[in-house]
Structure 1
Amino acid sequence: MQLAAKIRDARTSLSHLRTRRLAHRRLSAELATFVTAADRAELDHLLDRYDSDQTREIRTILLRQDAARL
């Protein structure tokens, strides 16, 4: 692979990484608004409707936020 192609691939990878990080930060910020017990119960009930693979990222963020609040 030529140098120009390697550089292009690296830039593309970095761009995708930045996009994923931004999306993760936005999701974390949105989930942080669910602070009351009623909010969390409603969210947990909603998440229970989906497969654990589909909700893994959300549940991980929620667990991290719960731990930070303690």
Structure 2
Amino acid sequence: MTRHDLSVKSLRSSLATRRAARLQRQSLERQLASYTTESDRIELDAILSRHTSEETTELRSIINRQAMDRLLRSA
């Protein structure tokens, strides 16, 4: 294998990893968006409160962004 082949293989691997991460995040965003009612969000907040902030940072970021989107759409 040439050096060029290795860098192409590395690039493909990197792109595949990024694509998988993006698809996983999109799936997570869809799942979190299904919590639409106030009671759903209270339940979700109770679940998240059982975990550390490090564990829930990404989830809370998505939830907060979705809440802002809902507010902007309703205004």
TM-score bin, normalised by smaller chain: over 0.9
- Residues in 1 aligned to 2:53 and 2:4: alpha-carbon distance in whole angstroms: 41
**What's the TM-score, normalizing by structure 1?**
0.96
> Highest relative contact order (Cα 8 Å, sep 6+), 1 or 2?
1
Over the matched positions of the two proteins, sequence identity in percent amounts to 37
- Residues in 1 aligned to 2:9 and 2:29: alpha-carbon distance in whole angstroms: 30
- 1:20-53: per-residue Cα shift (whole Å, max 9, x none)? 0000000000100101110000100100100111
The amino acid across from 1:20 in the alignment is A
Query: Does 1:54 pair with 2:55?
Result: yes
- Residues in 1 aligned to 2:19 and 2:12: alpha-carbon distance in whole angstroms: 11
Bigger radius of gyration: 2
Structure 1 outlier segments of 4+, above 2 Å = none
- Residues in 2 aligned to 1:7 and 1:61: alpha-carbon distance in whole angstroms: 33
Structure 1 spans left out of the alignment, 5+ residues:
none
- Tell me how many residue pairs correspond in the alignment: 70
Structure 2 spans left out of the alignment, 5+ residues:
none
Task: Quote the residue 1:21 is aligned against.
Answer: 22
User: Root-mean-square deviation (CA), in Å?
Assistant: 1.0
Query: Does 1:65 pair with 2:56?
Result: no
